[in-house]
Amino acid sequence: MSPRECAIKLMRRCNSNDPFTIARALDVILIYCTLIDLNGFYQYHKRNHIIYLSEELEEYAARFVLAHELGHMQMHRSMNTVFMDTKTFNPHSRFERQANTFAVELLLPDDLLREYPDCSIYQLAASFGVPSEFVGLKG
């Protein structure tokens, strides 16, 4: 399943595109902590989905990082790997690119773009927590 399809399926399942609402609906344990050179990471441990977020993130950055980590949770769960996102999000890794695409599709769904036809995708991205460098991942 593509990152876009995965994001759409999750939005329908949780009836939301808000990553915090989705995390609650999926019983994800969110831990805010001090992270050195990381924005966040996902871990599956003892049947628990755990996402760690840097306590230094501003709200909009936290939305994107959480959406990104939910992407790892949905698409890379079977890999038994702790996915750590550096402050650059390492867009060169296939798994990181998939998680970034998932996050963009989750935070900027097609319905939202149709709802604000007079806004550019960059304006919407800024309003909904998507870094401008990832807007090009929108399908």
Determine contact, residues 19/70, Cβ cutoff 8 Å. Answer: yes
pLDDT in tens, the chain (139 residues): 999 999 999 999 999 999 999 999 999 999 999 998 889 999 888 899 999 999 999 998 999 999 999 999 999 876 655 655 555 455 568 888 999 999 999 999 999 889 999 999 899 999 888 998 898 998 7
In this structure, is residue 139 part of a structural domain? no
In this structure, is residue 59 part of a structural domain? yes
CATH code of 65's domain: 1.10.10.2910
Bridge partners of residue 44, in order along the sequence: 49
Token pair belonging to 17? 């595109």
In this structure, is residue 48 part of a structural domain? yes
In this structure, is residue 35 part of a structural domain? yes
How many structural domains comprise the chain?
Answer: 1
Q: Which domain covers residue 87, as residue numbers?
A: 3-132
Of 79, 72, 76, nearest to 51 (Cα)? 72
In this structure, is residue 138 part of a structural domain? no
In this structure, is residue 137 part of a structural domain? no
Q: How far is Cα of residue 125 from the mean position of the Cα atoms in its chain?
A: 13
Q: How many residues in the chain?
A: 139
pTM of the model: 0.89
In this structure, is residue 91 part of a structural domain? yes
